[in-house]
Structure 1
């Protein structure tokens, strides 16, 4: 890592410690391979699935882990690695659908809308007869016409392709309208979904005919592509009940399309008693970076130097440490308080930076680090329900979590974290330990 990219001022450090996933040039500058200290083969397994895939074969892959653990950054790495062999379409679910109430039909519409758009960018059109049939069916079931759609859909954004010689097809406009209605109106959302689900076999058949036609044409123009690879990121943000509904009740529908798909999944789904492996062949978990020496009979775990060093390197790759911290130990304190959670580390770093600036100093000191940790602690105090604390005590003492609704909720809100490697185990988020309600629950524990 060249020092030219290392932040030397608080303002620069605040910008480069953005907790959002890495992409573009930032991926090249700041990416740290954490696979060794995560003790996971999740990324390698995804790579193997894609490597062994033959042209015109299709697979569905689940990719999970805590929100903010670095899944999106790893998915961007996968995208970069396989972009020469797959026609990759990267989708962010929260930008496309109502993340609080997602259904498989919503995902179907997003996928075909985006594939049509991306093909049009490559100057490729679906078979005209297939499109006409698809459009005719949609007009019939939705009572939409060229005129009603034209009046309500703007020809900007993801509809326009400046370089494409092809006009925007009716179906593209209609899909944009339907998705906007699904995202914006509960009444219209219900009506559209019920309408589509009444003839779901027709919808799946037509979608697959279009996908296979698009695949044939993309491979004719670009023979190096094996096929489509849809990456559906940010589906892990759906609430646990929605995740259970989507990935269990609708598992067959999520695997019915003739393309390769990676779905991100809430980690709570992995803890469901329904057993996700009964529904999907491939579920890959990205755990926390392991900063601890696991000893199940010791509540307060010691630290594993390799893990702490790796977490600290996430900051060291971005900032000139001796220019930003009074002492290196303060960076290690942040690493310990992160629990190996990448986004939490970046959030605390940013808070420490603003604390330092507010005090009129140029270097982060111990007080700034304490303020940053307290800020995360206070947020947990506001959001953790009182009934969770006895279960958090059990996680602290036993290093395991129950597959109850409370257990799933704790994983979803990151008050409890998963680690794995030779063993799978759980531990509380380190900032939770200082919460007074947790300490009281610990004193009263009968575990």
Structure 2
């Protein structure tokens, strides 16, 4: 937004409309130095302050939602007018809405299923991230009809579908992530391989395990992250995963362990969303039990004997 204002000529009348719309849906005063229209008015700072209050003040957040809902069409028209002014400078607009993949499943379903029309009304290219669990919803076919394309980025394969053969390319990629952020020399080889295994190829989990392992190593004044430290971190994560599993979930997990099949199943949707089940791609998409959750199944003696 700041770059847009700096490099594109946004008319004072449009800035004034933006200010009026924003003030009309807030219940608290915005400091005057940030709402003066014209050259001194910073659109980016204005909306950042509005969003900050929505995140931190529960009452304000609810009031703002109630005010915005009947005025969404007005907001979309305002957005499209801003887009039109930007494109007068012969620049195309690309909007990326990130972090929606972290939304609760129900909120994501409400957003993409019930409000897809509003999401696609801005007259520019938009990329929305969404939870991978949404793909297994029985409403996903209808959701896709409202968007031009859906692209799934599966987790990094660190083993093949049969679970026995380690997938070399994926594991090499995970090690490259470590090498670029820190150094593989900070891990014993056994510890790094174990962390890769237990991450299941989920980058976010991989980074979290490394971070927590590093904190423990520093606290103990160790120069290397060894497997014992990594195991302690994984044991802590086991408790978190186990707390979110029901008896019915264990039945679904056992079925996934044996079949590796992705199907339209609301029970599976929840397990994909909380990362108890992970999706991969090898030609056709398939899924498997998160290695951390699989270790829980092993401890409970729920897995069939090989």
Tell me, yes or no, whether TM beats 0.5: yes
Secondary structure class of the residue paired with 2:284 = coil
Within 1, Cα distance between the matches of 2:208 and 2:49? 36
Q: Which residue of 2 aligns with 1:267?
A: 132
- May I ask how many residue pairs the two structures share in their alignment? 303
Unaligned regions of 5+ residues in structure 2, if any?
A: none
Secondary structure class of the residue paired with 1:303 = coil
Within 2, Cα distance between the matches of 1:188 and 1:338? 39
Q: Is residue 2:155 matched to residue 1:316?
A: no
Deviation at 1:335, TM superposition (A): 1.3
Within 2, Cα distance between the matches of 1:249 and 1:381? 32
Q: Which residue of 1 aligns with 2:40?
A: 167
Q: Which residue of 2 aligns with 1:355?
A: 216
Conserved? CA contact 2:8–2:86, under 8 Å: no
Conserved? CA contact 2:175–2:184, under 8 Å: no
Conserved? CA contact 1:123–1:166, under 8 Å: no
Q: Which residue of 2 aligns with 1:215?
A: 87
Deviation at 1:366, TM superposition (A): 2.9
Cα 1:228–1:302 shift into 2, 3 Å: same
Q: Is residue 2:112 matched to residue 1:247?
A: yes
Q: Is residue 2:12 matched to residue 1:119?
A: no
Deviation at 1:188, TM superposition (A): 4.5
Unaligned regions of 5+ residues in structure 1, if any?
A: 1-114
Conserved? CA contact 1:415–1:432, under 8 Å: yes
Secondary structure class of the residue paired with 1:302 = coil
Q: Which residue of 2 aligns with 1:43?
A: none
Deviation at 1:187, TM superposition (A): 5.1
Within 2, Cα distance between the matches of 1:155 and 1:387? 56
Deviation at 1:343, TM superposition (A): 2.0
Q: Is residue 2:279 matched to residue 1:414?
A: no
Cα 1:123–1:335 shift into 2, 3 Å: same
Within 2, Cα distance between the matches of 1:334 and 1:396? 20
Q: Is residue 2:187 matched to residue 1:325?
A: yes
Higher relative contact order, chain-length normalized (CA < 8 Å, sep 6+):
1
Please, what is the CA RMSD of the aligned residues? 3.4
2:30 to 120, 135, 153: 153
Deviation at 1:312, TM superposition (A): 2.3
Q: Deviations over 1:17-64 (max 9, x none)?
A: xxxxxxxxxxxxxxxxxxxxxxxxxxxxxxxxxxxxxxxxxxxxxxxx
Within 1, Cα distance between the matches of 2:207 and 2:267? 27
Conserved? CA contact 2:158–2:197, under 8 Å: yes
Cα 1:155–1:433 shift into 2, 3 Å: farther
